[in-house]
């Protein structure tokens, strides 16, 4: 949304949500639609048709939408009349989406919405159902003529997109029978996050950074996505997926691509995607067991304390099979083998039940050739650019300066900008839904990215399958297994602590406690 080169254009539409009363719809999609509506970003001619097997009347469905907005929206309902005008656009159709029976009823409902609201056939099909249904539903939409429309048709598809390269390819082939690539919006919600989108702007709208953005000046890059939550109620999915498939194949690699890509010739989806794909092509693939064990660490959480509460080990979580060797943590040392990045390690880490919820990208610049100054530890702190993605969004530029009044003593200071400390910014789903309705594919994942990401991840997975002993363990509430520190130590580096911004949304100066 933020960096689209195109002017904003509203379209009338019908949105069909498969899994229309599920968790994703309630926690993310309804609140996103409501915020867009309240912000005036939706054409007034729109309707939403929710689909599920449970029987419900429209009124009951609207009640679910209201409860979801009351609980999860960043905007409160302030005017009941305005709420009614929003809610009356929601309808519900009960059907089993895995069988053709019932699609006729759905088509009629969609066509009625279009007639009654003067919508010229633009249809957004949102698959908020289990991944085993993605292919089947996309085929049935075609076979049952829902894709036959005077306006545009688009398919928004949730993660996971496949389980490995082969299953992803099969799914993609099936979807492509009904939808063209430019009609497929594969969601990676990290691409909807304000500061992930901002990486592009920070880099390409500032001489200051772009001039230094290469292996002559950058020592290493660190990408962290740590969570405090455990597996929650998702063991049936998560124990088969693991952190590598769940977070690295998509979110972590997407952030890496945003950091490492070359400037696109234009700000259009094709040009940006081409540059991102080149990064994945240059990503060194760890294939042999030795390469994997030397560069990638996987771990599983043990019992511990998180946010002051005792938590059980992963193996004792509900639904997790006894003795599971599934990883809840991954750290890695990656290399992008091209002119710009040759020799610069990209360290990645992600895990559940870690010390702190924090997603951030740290760019560590190289040291000056000679230290002319002194300070307490007799070393200068590194120059760092920290891009905090969540829960705080912002930027911090850390460098060295003279201590006021000191005897030429040098101290680290920071220029700090917090994007969301003073007020809420749009949720990722709000931004992505808006883009899908506008037809802007910039922040959606192209098949080329999905397929190359699986090709990077699959050999790592296979090496682990051959060697279950490669699993390490970490205490809940820690920063992960010690083995993950070792891969940085070997290069003379260390993980940076998660950054916390000040409370003001203005650029401010501050000293850093060492
Ligand atoms: N929840 C989240 O935060 C996230 C979810 N996702 C993805 O989004 C998708 C949905 O997840 P989530 O909302 O959590 O799942 P839920 O199980 O909460 O919701 C899925 C909904 O689909 C409906 N459904 C299931 N089978 C059928 C069927 N055969 N015919 C019609 N309706 C059906 C169910 O309703 P009923 O029982 O009435 O049929 C259910 O409400 C998944 O692919 C998930 O991986 C991705 C990222 C985050
Ligand atoms: O896609 C996923 O992301 C969440 C973390 O998302 P965030 O926006 O809270 O950082 C993760 O918990 C989940 O396992 C994964 O499927």
Instruction: Read off the tokens for 210.
Output: 């772009």
Q: Are residues 147 and 277 in the same domain?
A: no
pLDDT value for 377 = 66
| Catalytic residue of the set 72, 145, 163, 251 | 251
390 lines ligand 2 (CB under 6 A): yes
391 preceded by a cis bond (ω within 30 of 0): yes
> CA 23 to CA 405: how far, in whole Å?
57
In a domain, 53, yes or no: yes
Cβ neighbours of 301 (radius 10 Å): 29
The residue length of the chain stands at 514
In a domain, 514, yes or no: no
Whichever domain contains 217, its CATH number is 3.30.360.10
Residue 72 labelled as part of a binding site:
no
- Residue 345 phi, psi dihedral angles, 5° rounding: -70, 135
* Overall domain count for the chain: 2
Q: Are residues 211 and 93 in the same domain?
A: no
DSSP-derived secondary structure for 285-338: PP-SHHHHHHHEEEEEEEEEEETTEEE--GGGSTTPPTT----SEEEEEEEB-S
Ligand minimally distant from the alpha carbon of residue 93: 1
> CA 311 to CA 316: how far, in whole Å?
10
Q: Are residues 121 and 236 in the same domain?
A: no
Where is the domain boundary, 142, 158, 174? Answer: 158
Ligand minimally distant from the alpha carbon of residue 427: 2
246 lines ligand 2 (CB under 6 A): yes
> CA 65 to CA 421: how far, in whole Å?
28
Q: Are residues 313 and 378 in the same domain?
A: yes
Nearest residue (CA) to ligand 1, atom 32: 52
Q: Which residue(s) pair with 304 in the sheet?
A: 311, 476
pLDDT value for 76 = 95
Q: Which residue(s) pair with 351 in the sheet?
A: 226, 329
> CA 273 to CA 210: how far, in whole Å?
19
Q: Which of 370, 376, 371 is nearest to 512 (CA)?
A: 376
125: helix, strand or coil = strand
Atom of ligand 2 nearest to the CA of 190: 8
Q: Are residues 359 and 468 in the same domain?
A: yes
Q: What is the pLDDT of residues 298-357, one digit of tens each?
A: 999 999 999 999 999 999 999 999 999 999 999 999 999 999 999 999 999 999 999 999
Where is the domain boundary, 137, 158, 179? Answer: 158
Q: Are residues 264 and 396 in the same domain?
A: yes
Q: Are residues 197 and 240 in the same domain?
A: yes
251 catalytically annotated: yes
Residue 82 labelled as part of a binding site:
no
The domain in which residue 285 lies consists of 191-427+445-490
192: helix, strand or coil = helix
DSSP-derived secondary structure for 337-351: -STTTTT-EEEEEEE
In a domain, 101, yes or no: yes
Residue 366 labelled as part of a binding site:
no
Instruction: Read off the tokens for 460.
Output: 């790592």
> CA 70 to CA 80: how far, in whole Å?
13
Q: Are residues 214 and 263 in the same domain?
A: yes
Residue 96 labelled as part of a binding site:
yes
Residue 97 labelled as part of a binding site:
yes
Q: Which uninterrupted H or E stretch holds 157? A: strand 153-157
Alpha-carbon separation of residue 165 from 172, 191, 243, 284, 462 (angstroms) = 10, 21, 16, 17, 12
pLDDT in tens, the chain (514 residues): 434 445 567 899 999 999 999 999 999 999 999 999 999 999 999 999 999 999 999 999 999 999 999 999 999 999 999 999 999 999 999 999 999 999 999 999 999 999 999 999 999 999 999 999 999 999 999 999 999 999 999 999 999 999 999 999 999 999 999 999 999 999 999 999 999 999 999 999 999 998 999 999 999 999 999 999 999 999 999 999 999 999 999 999 999 999 999 999 998 999 999 999 999 999 999 999 999 999 999 999 999 999 999 999 999 999 999 999 999 999 999 999 999 999 999 999 999 999 999 999 999 999 998 888 866 666 788 999 999 999 999 999 999 998 888 677 888 899 999 988 888 899 999 999 999 999 999 999 999 999 999 999 999 999 999 999 999 999 999 999 999 999 999 999 999 989 888 643 334 445 554 4
> CA 409 to CA 372: how far, in whole Å?
10
**Beta carbons within 8 Å of 271's beta carbon, 6+ residues apart:** 264, 265
Question: In testing the pocket of ligand 2, which one of 227, 229, 235, 360 has its CB within 8 Å of the most ligand atoms?
Answer: 227
Q: Which residues line ligand 1 (CB under 6 A)?
A: 19, 21-24, 27, 51-54, 96-98, 128-131, 158-159
Q: Are residues 66 and 110 in the same domain?
A: yes
Could you tell me whether strands 309-311 and 296-306 are parallel, antiparallel, or unpaired per DSSP bridges?
Answer: antiparallel
Looking at the chain, the whole-number percentage of residues with pLDDT higher than 70 is: 95
User: The pTM is what?
Assistant: 0.94
Whichever domain contains 108, its CATH number is 3.40.50.720
Nearest residue (CA) to ligand 2, atom 3: 247
In a domain, 256, yes or no: yes
Assess contact for 50 and 90: CB atoms under 8 A.
yes
In a domain, 141, yes or no: yes
Buried b (16+ CB within 10 A) or exposed e, 356-368: bbbbbbbbbbeee
Question: In testing the pocket of ligand 2, which one of 233, 246, 392 has its CB within 8 Å of the most ligand atoms?
Answer: 246
Alpha-carbon separation of residue 189 from 158, 271, 476 (angstroms) = 9, 21, 26
Q: Which of 48, 51, 47, 46 is nearest to 21 (CA)?
A: 51
The set of long-range contacts for 210-218, using a CB threshold of 8 Å and a minimum separation of 24, is 210/263, 212/365, 213/340, 214/340, 214/341, 215/340, 215/341, 215/342, 215/343, 215/344, 216/366, 217/365, 217/366, 218/344, 218/363, 218/364, 218/365, 218/366
Q: Are residues 88 and 138 in the same domain?
A: yes
In a domain, 163, yes or no: no
- Residue 192 phi, psi dihedral angles, 5° rounding: -90, -5
The owner of tokens 């409370």 is 503
pLDDT value for 507 = 44
Q: Are residues 251 and 394 in the same domain?
A: yes
Alpha-carbon separation of residue 68 from 21, 24, 311 (angstroms) = 10, 10, 29
Ligand minimally distant from the alpha carbon of residue 350: 2
In a domain, 433, yes or no: no
Q: Are residues 279 and 412 in the same domain?
A: yes
In a domain, 167, yes or no: no
């Amino acid at each position: 949304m933020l960096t689209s080169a195109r002017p904003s254009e509203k379209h009338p539409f019908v949105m069909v949500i498969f899994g229309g009363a599920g968790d994703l719809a309630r926690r993310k999609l309804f609140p996103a639609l409501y915020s867009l509506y309240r912000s005036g970003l939706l054409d007034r001619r729109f309707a939403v048709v929710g689909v599920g097997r449970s029987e419900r009347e429209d009124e009951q469905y609207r009640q679910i939408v209201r409860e979801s907005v009351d609980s999860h929206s960043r905007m409160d309902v302030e005017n009941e009349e305005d709420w009614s005008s929003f809610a009356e656009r929601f309808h519900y159709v009960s059907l089993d989406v895995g069988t053709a029976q019932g699609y006729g009823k759905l088509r009629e409902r969609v066509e009625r919405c279009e007639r009654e609201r003067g919508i010229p056939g633009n249809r957004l099909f949102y698959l908020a159902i289990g991944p085993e249904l993605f292919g089947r539903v996309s085929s049935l939409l075609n076979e049952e003529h829902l894709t036959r429309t005077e306006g545009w048709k688009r398919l928004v598809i949730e993660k996971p997109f496949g389980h490995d390269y082969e299953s992803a390819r099969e799914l993609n082939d099936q979807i492509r029978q009904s939808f063209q690539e430019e009609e497929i919006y594969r969601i990676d919600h990290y691409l909807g996050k304000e500061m992930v989108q901002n990486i592009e702007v920070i880099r390409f709208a500032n001489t200051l950074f772009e001039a230094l953005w290469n292996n002559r000046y950058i020592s290493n890059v660190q990408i962290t996505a740590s969570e405090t939550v455990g597996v929650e109620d998702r063991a049936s999915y998560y124990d088969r997926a693991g952190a590598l498939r769940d977070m690295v194949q998509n979110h972590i690699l997407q952030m890496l691509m945003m950091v490492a890509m070359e400037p696109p010739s234009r700000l259009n989806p094709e040009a940006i995607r081409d540059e991102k794909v080149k990064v994945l092509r240059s990503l060194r693939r760890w294939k042999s067991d030795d390469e994997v064990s030397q560069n990638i660490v996987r771990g599983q959480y043990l019992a511990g304390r998180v946010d002051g509460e005792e938590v059980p080990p992963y193996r004792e979580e509900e639904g997790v099979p006894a003795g599971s060797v599934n990883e809840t943590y991954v750290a890695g040392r990656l290399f992008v083998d091209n002119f710009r990045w040759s020799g610069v390690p990209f360290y990645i880490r992600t895990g559940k039940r870690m010390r702190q919820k924090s997603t951030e990208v740290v760019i560590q610049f190289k040291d000056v050739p000679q230290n002319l100054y002194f300070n307490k530890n007799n070393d200068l702190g590194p120059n760092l650019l920290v891009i905090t993605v969540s829960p705080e969004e912002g930027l911090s530029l850390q460098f060295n300066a003279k201590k006021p009044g000191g005897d030429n003593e040098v101290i680290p200071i920071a220029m700090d900008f917090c994007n969301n400390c003073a007020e809420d910014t749009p949720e990722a789903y709000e931004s992505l839904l808006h883009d899908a309705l506008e037809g802007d594919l910039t922040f959606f994942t192209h098949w080329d990215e999905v397929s190359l990401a699986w090709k990077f991840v699959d050999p790592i997975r296979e090496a682990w399958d051959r060697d279950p002993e490669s699993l390490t363990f970490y205490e809940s509430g820690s920063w992960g297994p010690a083995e993950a520190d070792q891969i940085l130590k070997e290069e003379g580096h260390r993980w940076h602590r998660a950054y916390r911004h000040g409370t003001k949304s203005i650029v401010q100066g501050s000293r850093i406690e060492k």
